[in-house]
Amino acid sequence: MTNKPKGVLYIGVTGGIDDRIERHKAGKGSKFTKKYNLDKVVYIEEFQYVNDAIAREKQLKRWHRQWKINLIEQDNPKWDDLRPS
């Protein structure tokens, strides 16, 4: 999640993306997303197993900021909100 192109980035794991996004947008998600008004989903990866998702989250959190930006821009160069409808 982010608040604008190349803005603050938040990485998280959830078992229910629609509900999680709604909570973040309503200011009831994490303190971090509320503090920085993060309301746009700009990158999503899906996993069958939660352990794989958690491992990927930890990996991405260790990445340099520019690597994360490059990853987002590979599939979403305009930083469109990818919120599932």
What pLDDT, in 10s, does the model give residues 4-53? 999 999 999 988 888 888 887 777 778 888 899 888 999 999 999 999 99
Q: Enter the pTM of the model.
A: 0.86
The Cα 63–Cα 85 span in angstroms is 29
The residue-averaged pLDDT of 52-61 equals 97
The Cα 24–Cα 69 span in angstroms is 21
pLDDT of residue 30: 81
Question: Is the per-residue pLDDT at 84 higher than 70?
Answer: no
Greater model confidence, 22 or 3: 3
